[in-house]
Amino acid sequence: MPKLKTRKAVLKRLKVTGTKKLLRRKCGQNHFNAKESSQVTKSKKATVELGKSQQKIFRKELPYI
């Protein structure tokens, strides 16, 4: 049976932890951040774990993780 291809676009956007959890960045970090409070800016820098339904979808895209 041939090897399955990994979706590189998905792999670049996620970080896989040692316990195989998938982490993503919070959205809305690109621009217009000067008008936001420092608490909001700080919270956007943190990574967030994907939900169970999203993990199910992305695990199909990343077969060897």
Express each pLDDT in 24-58 by its tens digit: 999 988 898 889 999 999 999 999 999 999 999 99
The pLDDT of residue 14 is: 94
The 10 Å Cβ neighbour count of residue 22 is 21
The pLDDT of residue 1 is: 85
The pLDDT of residue 65 is: 85
The pLDDT of residue 38 is: 93
Answer yes or no: are the C-beta atoms of 14 and 24 closer than 8 Å: yes
Task: Name the band, by pLDDT with cuts 50, 70 and 90, for residue 8.
Answer: very high
Residue 1 counted as domain residue: no
Domain CATH for 45: 4.10.410.60
The tokens of 24 are what?
Answer: 């993503």
SS (H, E, C) the chain: CCCCCCCHHHHHHCEECCCCCEEEECCCCCCCCCCCCHHHHHHHCCEEECCHHHHHHHHHHCCCC
Residue 28 counted as domain residue: yes
Residue 22 counted as domain residue: yes
Name the domain count of the chain: 1
